[in-house]
Amino acid sequence: MIARRQLAIALAATLLLAPSLRSHAATAPTAPAAAQADAAPAAPPALYLGAAWYPEQWPESRWDTDLALMQQAHIRFVRVGEFAWSRLEPSEGHYDLDWLDRAIRAAQRHNIAVVIGTPSAAPPAWLTTEYPETLRIEEDGKRAQHGNRQQFDWSSPKYRELARAMAEQEARRFGHDPNVIGWQIDNEYANASYGPSTQAQFQNWLKARYGTLDNLNARWTTAYWSQTYNDWSQIPIETKPGNPGLLISWMRFVSDTWRSYQKNQLDVIRANADPRQFITTNMMGFFNGYNNDLVAQDLTMASWDDYVGTGQLNPVSNGAAHDLTRGFLRKNFWVMETQPGSVNWSPDNNPLNKGEVRAMAWHDIGHGADAVEYWQWRSALNGQEEYHGTLLGADGNPNPLYPEVAHIGADFAKAGPALAGTSVQSDVAILHNYDSYWAIDWQRHNKAFDPLATMIDWYGAVRALAHSVDIVSPSVPLSQYKLVVAPALNMITEAQARNLIDYVQNGGHLVLTQRSGMKNIDNGLYTQLQPGPLADLLGGHVAQFYALDTTIPVSGTWGTGPTKVWADMLTTTSPDTKVLMRYGKTPLGWLDDQPAAITRQVGKGRITYIGADLEGAPLAAAAKWMIADAGVQPEFGTLPPGVDLYIRKDATHEVWILINFGAAPQTVALPTAFTNVLTGTGGATVHTAALKQYDVVILQRPTSTPGGKP
């Protein structure tokens, strides 16, 4: 213990932190005067640094010590209670919220706000024992057991009744608490249930959606393999490859059920809470167990849990997950959990490198996060996540990472005023659609065709040039974007098609890629060849598609390269549709000299279809072509290797965040004069930014025109 204290003190001393921080491990903080307990909360910061705190796991005599350490690290909020149901309701109908009140008051004394997590992700043993029907049924027909978390049945009326009652008790007690700033409903929605009760609900859902069995049978083509239903009770739950209409309907039911499960608690919180208190839930990036976009629509703001797991941070794929989350409600979001160095659930739980945690936090902010919370504050002494990274060890003293997080907190405090009210504003959007993801994943046709990887490839190529990309649903208004890229948009509803057609006809540039426009709303094939309802606008279509077991050369406007996984053979049906790329000659024969990419100008707009699986130089050239054609003109050009740029702005100024994730030091020449937010004094300006690995530079400048040019 002594050695650990000495290590913590030495590490803290390497940072420019308050003297009290450098001595915190040796001396327990003095409890504030009782008169401070009722002090009004301080003004909220523009950027929140947070930690997941579990006061129910520790003696109350320890609380002020923990909170003082948080305060010294500039931690401004804690999330509490999301796994504490057994402490909040020790037995049915007997609630104990006094301890939570005392924890909130203790946090308030240290100028730390509170987000309350409703505890429905971890039901108590009395509940699952008294009401075993609330335990979910696994796909193999076995009932989940107590002893873990998320063992509940999200469709169970009894579970919803009990979860709502618990949330109502909390909301009545804390809905007007000045130190409670928001609510997180449940924790990481994940698991469906497959029992008879859920199946009956699914059948009723289908009846409400389709009206008659004749309609359902027709739209699902159930005449195939004699699947025709003549009673609603005959319809099964199907999660593995089967009838595409049944599969997509189940996933939509799962999504609707998560939304109603959430609304069951959300409504009672909203009825008893101040409007100033936000309501969110912590999603999981590209987790596709339900339609996150749909479930987010009832929330005040979106949030997600940002973990790397094995290896180091990939700014492209991780950035895409941020932009996806921001796109759910098309506004700033929170990172409600992130890893403090390492996790415990990955095959190899290596730590992030020294400095990488700070770089990752600023990466979050650059993509539109206004808060970053570390999971968790201190190692639990038992339970399934004993090995997970923390800021404090099991002995209660800071880990080596603590000073780096304190550095982040100091950064947030200094840079917050510059970033207050700013947001990410993009000229380019990538379309992401859960229906399309599911549809392809069930019928990959080539096991190597990964719809998520395809999207990330296009996202990375376009973002490298545009420096800012939104990821949104094909159903949202698109008029703000000059360029919209829709990778593998396999399923397009008639309403979405109308939205995309209007976008092009009003001057936008729409780019479709392989496998787009094949499926209708019921996951059935369109009778019009790909891209289905967009084929007339394109002035061309996919004559045939091929899953490849060999490499096919492609060449044309964007150079020469291979396509290895998939090839859509295109044909033009309009004289003003132009061929951009063609396939070369191979033993396959069918694709020889056939169009691999075509485009058509429609008034001031354009629609392009890329049927080849581009990579490397042709992918980069295609991205450059579409950026230029769409009139996207980022002020900054190509960045040095390893350096990433994020821009947030409001009506008066913009903030540039530069991070070097590469090993080699880099110097970035800036297009105009900026003020260095973290180091600048006296109004001095800079024209270059020097960055070693994991260095972060925050710059700002005023804007005087809508385009952001000074």
What are the residue numbers of the active site? 188, 337
Cβ of 227: how many Cβ atoms within 10 Å? 16
CA distance 151 to 143: 9
| Distances in whole angstroms, Cα of residue 553 to Cα of each of 417, 503, 566, 569 | 52, 33, 12, 13
Q: What is the residue-wise DSSP string for 451-510?
A: HHHHHHHHHHHHHHHHS--EEE-TTS--TT-SEEEETT--B--HHHHHHHHHHHHTT-EE
Contacts of 34 (CB under 8 A, 6+ apart): none
Q: Is 699:646 a contact under the CB 8 Å cutoff?
A: no
Task: Please give the Cα distance from 167 to 64 (Å, whole number).
Answer: 27
Q: Note whether 614 and 563 are within 8 A (CB).
A: yes
Task: Output helix, strand, coil percentages for the chain, rounded to the nearest 5.
Answer: 35, 20, 45
What is the DSSP code string of 255-302?
Answer: HHHHHHHHHHHHHHHHHHS-TTSEEE-EE-TT--SS-HHHHHTTSSS-
The closest alpha carbon to 387, from 353, 351, 356, 360, belongs to 351
For residue 378, which of 59, 108, 29, 104 has the smallest C-alpha distance? 59
Q: Crossing angle of helices 157-174/244-272, nearest 10°?
A: 30
Are 398 and 24 contacting, i.e. CB atoms less than 8 angstroms apart?
A: yes
C-alpha to C-alpha distance for 462 and 513, rounded to whole angstroms: 14
Amino acid at the residue 128: T
Q: Give CA separation, 643 vs 13, 411, 464, 640, in Å.
A: 29, 19, 10, 6
Rg (Cα) of the chain, in Å, rounded? 27
Q: At what angle do helices 616-629 and 451-466 cross, to 10 degrees?
A: 60
Cβ atoms 110, 70 nearer than 8 A: yes
Under 8 Å between Cβ of 9 and 25:
yes
Give Cα 43 distance to the centre of its chain.
28
Instruction: Mention every residue, 6+ apart, whose C-beta is less than 8 A from residue 378.
Output: 54, 58, 66, 390, 391, 392, 393, 394, 396
CB neighbours of residue 344 within 10 Å: 12
The DSSP result for 163-211, as a single string, is: HHHHHHHHHHHHTT-TTEEEEE-SSS------SHHHHHHHHHHHHHHHS
C-alpha to C-alpha distance for 598 and 606, rounded to whole angstroms:
11
- For 198, list phi and psi in degrees, rounded to 5: -65, -40
* The amino acid at 458: W
Quote the CA–CA distance of 212 and 189 in Å, as a whole number. Answer: 32
Question: Count of residues for the chain?
Answer: 710
Distance (Å, rounded) from C-alpha 399 to C-alpha 392?
5
CA 119 to chain centre: 22
Question: What are the E-state strand segments in 415-456?
Answer: 428-431
